[in-house]
Chains A and B, each alone.
Chain A
């Protein structure tokens, strides 16, 4: 058990809809990272938050946004969903400074 909790485990929705994915980091970790894993794109870094502030951005679409709350949990919001957004979305957390990132078990998003 990595200590990182993601909910829900599975999400099925339709094109054009909006969903929110939730992540609770390991106790004490201030950094939260979001990744997308798909068969064609592999594992792609989306965004990082550190103690409530956005720290780094990767290949995140404008339709996607994230935030980290004062209790350090994070949410990834995906809107105007398209078929190509179907993927596994992972959250990871770390203490930063080169420490390893620890991953949750992901949310599998299926767009019908």
Chain B
């Protein structure tokens, strides 16, 4: 079965420290992977995607993600967290040969001043 897992419900980090939000996946074929962020009372905002190429993908707002095929992971990272990064983060994978996305359960990131 094709799926996405975000093993942490919440991640807490101090402002200025690096952050990592974890995601693992299970799909048929080559994965198309995405990260989205959701602020309160807003829709999901696209951060970055991996389709092919470099394993380190750079996205919006200083975020980046590392694709690891052997570990089937696509962790979201940022070198220095901001309080304004506090939000709900979703990892998603595109089902093979479709445009359907399967989303993880989300990870709430809390950045403390």
Contact = CB atoms under 8 A, between A and B. Distances in A.
Interface string A38-81: 00001101001010000110100000000000000000000000
Interface residues of B, number: 21
Interface in B69-113: 90, 94, 98-103, 105-106
Contact of A100 (B34, B100, B105): B34
Contacts of A105: 41-43
A45 B101 contact: yes
Nearest to A47: B100
B45 interface: yes
B32 A106 contact: no
Contact of A43 (B42, B51, B103): B103
A56 B46 contact: no
A24 interface: no
Chain B interface mostly: strand
B103 A42 contact: yes
A90 B51 CA distance: 24
Contact of B102 (A45, A94, A96): A45
A110 interface: no
B100 A45 contact: yes
B49 A100 contact: yes
A58 B100 contact: yes
Interface in A78-112: 90, 92, 94, 96-98, 100-106
Contact of A103 (B41, B44, B94): B44
B43 A56 contact: no
Interface of A: 2, 4, 6, 31, 33, 42-43, 45, 48, 50, 55-56, 58, 90, 92, 94, 96-98, 100-106
Given A101-B99, A103-B43, A105-B43, 15 more contacts: A2-B43, A4-B43, A43-B103, A50-B99, A55-B99, A56-B98, A58-B100, A94-B99, A98-B49, A98-B51, A100-B34, A100-B49, A101-B46, A101-B101, A102-B46
